[in-house]
């Protein structure tokens, strides 16, 4: 009726191999991870699979390709990409290699919104890095 295709993301309690038994999707697959993207006139929706608690090198390459757009970006990920100030985040529950995702996001000018779960709590946070590159002045003697 609305032309919306259901999308899912996998989290730490999910198994990639079990998904096709219950859900048929048009997702792309790279080394047994789900990669989804959907677009409309204004937004690009990116769905990341963090079921292994890490973003693979293949996922990171794919993500960087998907970030090449002029549209606003909405990312769905089970694990938080930004640090959340909670003891759980520091006890090994955080997404491995999330700094690489953050770095990729900091390289674009698009507005990015991220929806995630994992910690089962409400939190709103934002982060932006500003590069202030100064020329290196070396005295010549």
Domain range list for the chain: 16-115
**Torsion angle defined by CA atoms of residues 9, 13, 19 and 25, in that order, rounded to the nearest 10 degrees:** 0
**Architecture of 16-115 per CATH?**
2-Layer Sandwich (3.30)
CA–CA distance, 38 with 74 (Å, rounded to integer): 10
The model carries a pTM of 0.75
Q: What is the pLDDT of residue 97?
A: 86
For residue 55, give every residue at least 6 positions away whose Cβ sits within 8 Å of its Cβ, in sequence order, or none: 48, 63, 95, 96, 97, 98, 100, 101
141 residues of the chain, pLDDT tens digit each: 566 666 777 777 667 667 666 666 655 555 567 778 889 999 999 998 888 888 888 889 999 999 999 999 999 988 888 777 777 777 777 788 888 998 999 899 999 998 888 766 666 676 765 444 444 445 554
Task: Give CA angle at 13 (50, 39), nearest 5°.
Answer: 40
Q: What is the pLDDT of residue 69?
A: 96
Q: Which of 94, 113, 101 is nearest to 60 (CA)?
A: 101
Q: What is the pLDDT of residue 66?
A: 96
């Amino acid at each position: 009726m609305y032309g919306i295709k259901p999308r899912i993301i996998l989290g730490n309690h999910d198994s990639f191999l079990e998904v096709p038994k219950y859900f048929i999707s048009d997702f792309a697959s790279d080394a047994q991870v789900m990669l989804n993207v959907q677009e409309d006139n204004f937004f690009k929706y990116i769905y990341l699979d963090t079921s292994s608690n890490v973003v693979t090198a293949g996922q990171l390459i794919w993500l960087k390709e998907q970030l090449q757009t002029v549209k606003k970006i909405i990312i769905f990920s089970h694990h938080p990409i930004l640090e959340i100030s909670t003891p759980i985040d520091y006890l090994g529950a955080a997404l491995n290699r999330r700094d690489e995702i953050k770095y990729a996001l900091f390289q674009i000018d698009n507005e990015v919104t991220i929806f995630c779960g994992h910690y089962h709590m409400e939190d709103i946070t934002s982060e932006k890095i500003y590069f202030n590159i100064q020329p290196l002045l070396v005295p010549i003697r």
